Chains A and B, each alone.
Chain A
């Protein structure tokens, strides 16, 4: 391996590869370091790849170039109890037209593709390369030390895109040394094999149309939620749970996931499927207040490493923020090369770019949602409330019915309490 570059990017995930692609296209000599045997090997997500506006400049017809599964035309929110489900669907033709608004993907394929595009542009990709430490000269980051052979690679600027635990940001003193379990969630996922025709029939889809479903009430009171997404010929089903709450609950992620998959309405959707893979990954769910310092002397932080993730309860955004921040980090590094100044002050242009983009603006907008989502009533009482009301409305049992208002007030009083409901509506309103 060559030992000196114009820039080093740690991590060939969406943020890192976007940064490397941007740098390579500008003619800079960039090393892209990946600890997996190939990009995407260590990555997992249960989610929708939202429209990646930052990459559309490089890939004008993104949907014809990237290895995608299905484009999402149907989004649902489901409140689940042990035996019933209450569903809200949004289905629009507009999502069936290009540019599509979101896709399902397999990360090993998608990440590998994006890294290959960076390589085609001239970046040098080194797989099986775990970074052990950062190199410093006069307090400035000047490169990295690689775990395998203790080798050192140098560059005037390092972009840390090394994922949710970012040891690079920690070593650079940019993030707090310990994480707050209340700001982190663990996602566990089962990949279920099912023929395309069965998925199309079950979810009411044609061609490459896909469906995504977020679920509340499937975690036995642990703060978190479930998801179900259609890939081309498989389903991704899983749970995302706040670590503080999970840890205290004494429940295990796999038992909770098994119960979720056995819930009668879910079991119907999974019927006949075969388990292909089980995976887990952390999600930085603390929002704006969790974002570390994004720049230092000779270093920039992008993607999950910078905790760039938006959770609203209806949506989970990460990869779009990762590719956008990676692209901006690349641009900031290019500007720094123009100035031949890699000091903290020079690299602060990255923070300004982030603040001028939707990345920081959306994170600020949803600053209160992580706190709102720490309300335990959401995860058991509200699903019970909604399903209870629907059950009473539809059930015919020979007894006279209440008016809707009476029914609503009675059920609210039983399950939540009027005061709590008003407080929750207010905090939800403020947060969203």
Chain B
């Protein structure tokens, strides 16, 4: 028994909105010296590519916890809201 965040949709349910509720300005991330979001996000929504010098954010498996919102010290978000009503993660039993 192991948590594999790449298979998060197998255990946790989502109703994904096409409109991302979090929007990043990736230019800000290029100049960031910490990128704490990449390791702190419990759903691995942030990946930094050293090769391309690029931050990628995927909102599909977002658990809406707010970790990135708190750890980002560069305020790289052009938008950080909760998903529209009825969308996003759905904890059924937790």
List residues of A whose CB falls within 8 A of some B CB: 35-37, 40-45, 106-108, 127-130, 132, 146-148, 164-165, 167, 178-179, 181, 184, 186, 188-192, 234, 236, 243-244, 246-254, 257-258, 261, 270, 273-282
Minimal Cβ-Cβ distance residue in B for A231: B93
For residue B92, which residues in chain A have a CB less than 8 angstroms away from its CB?
A: 108, 277
Some 21 contacts from A to B, beta carbons below 8 A apart, are: A35-B83, A36-B90, A42-B89, A108-B93, A108-B94, A147-B81, A148-B85, A165-B69, A179-B70, A190-B3, A236-B94, A248-B34, A250-B39, A251-B39, A253-B40, A254-B42, A275-B2, A277-B11, A277-B94, A280-B43, A282-B65
Contact in complex: A249, B39 (CB < 8 Å): yes
Contact in complex: B88, A42 (CB < 8 Å): yes
Contact in complex: A37, B86 (CB < 8 Å): yes
Please count how many residues in chain B sit with their CB below 8 Å of the partner chain's CB atoms: 38
Tell me whether chain B's interface is mostly helix, strand or loop, or mixed: loop
**Mask for B50-76, Cβ within 8 A of A = 1, else 0?**
000000000000011111011101010
Nearest-CB distance from A1 to chain B (Å)?
Answer: 12
Contact in complex: B66, A282 (CB < 8 Å): yes
Contact in complex: A243, B71 (CB < 8 Å): yes
Minimal Cβ-Cβ distance residue in B for A126: B85
Given contacts A164-B66, A258-B2, whether A186 and B94 have CB atoms under 8 Å apart is: no
List residues of B whose CB falls within 8 A of some A CB: 1-3, 5, 8, 11-12, 15, 34, 36, 39-40, 42-44, 63-67, 69-71, 73, 75, 81-86, 88-94
Minimal Cβ-Cβ distance residue in B for A272: B1
Minimal Cβ-Cβ distance residue in A for B2: A258
Minimal Cβ-Cβ distance residue in B for A37: B86
For residue A146, which residues in chain B have a CB less than 8 angstroms away from its CB?
A: 85
Nearest-CB distance from B6 to chain A (Å)?
Answer: 10
Nearest-CB distance from A290 to chain B (Å)?
Answer: 12
Contact in complex: B71, A247 (CB < 8 Å): yes
Question: In whole angstroms, how far apart are the Cα atoms of A41 and B5 in the complex?
Answer: 20
For residue A279, which residues in chain B have a CB less than 8 angstroms away from its CB?
A: 12, 63, 89, 91, 94
Contact in complex: B3, A258 (CB < 8 Å): yes
For residue A190, which residues in chain B have a CB less than 8 angstroms away from its CB?
A: 3
Question: In whole angstroms, how far apart are the Cα atoms of A251 and B36 in the complex?
Answer: 10
Contact in complex: B42, A186 (CB < 8 Å): yes
Minimal Cβ-Cβ distance residue in A for B89: A42
Contact in complex: B12, A254 (CB < 8 Å): no
Nearest-CB distance from B7 to chain A (Å)?
Answer: 10
Minimal Cβ-Cβ distance residue in B for A281: B65
Minimal Cβ-Cβ distance residue in B for A132: B81
Given contacts A42-B88, A275-B11, A282-B70, whether A191 and B94 have CB atoms under 8 Å apart is: yes
What 13 additional pairs, Cβ within 8 angstroms, besides A165-B66, A279-B12? A36-B86, A128-B86, A130-B83, A148-B84, A186-B65, A190-B3, A236-B94, A251-B39, A252-B39, A258-B2, A277-B92, A278-B3, A282-B67
Question: In whole angstroms, how far apart are the Cα atoms of A128 and B86 in the complex?
Answer: 4
Minimal Cβ-Cβ distance residue in B for A107: B94
Given contacts A257-B3, A276-B11, A278-B12, whether A184 and B70 have CB atoms under 8 Å apart is: yes
Given contacts A42-B64, A258-B3, whether A253 and B85 have CB atoms under 8 Å apart is: no
Minimal Cβ-Cβ distance residue in B for A178: B75
The residue that A247 contacts in the complex, of B40, B69, B75, with Cβ under 8 A, is B40
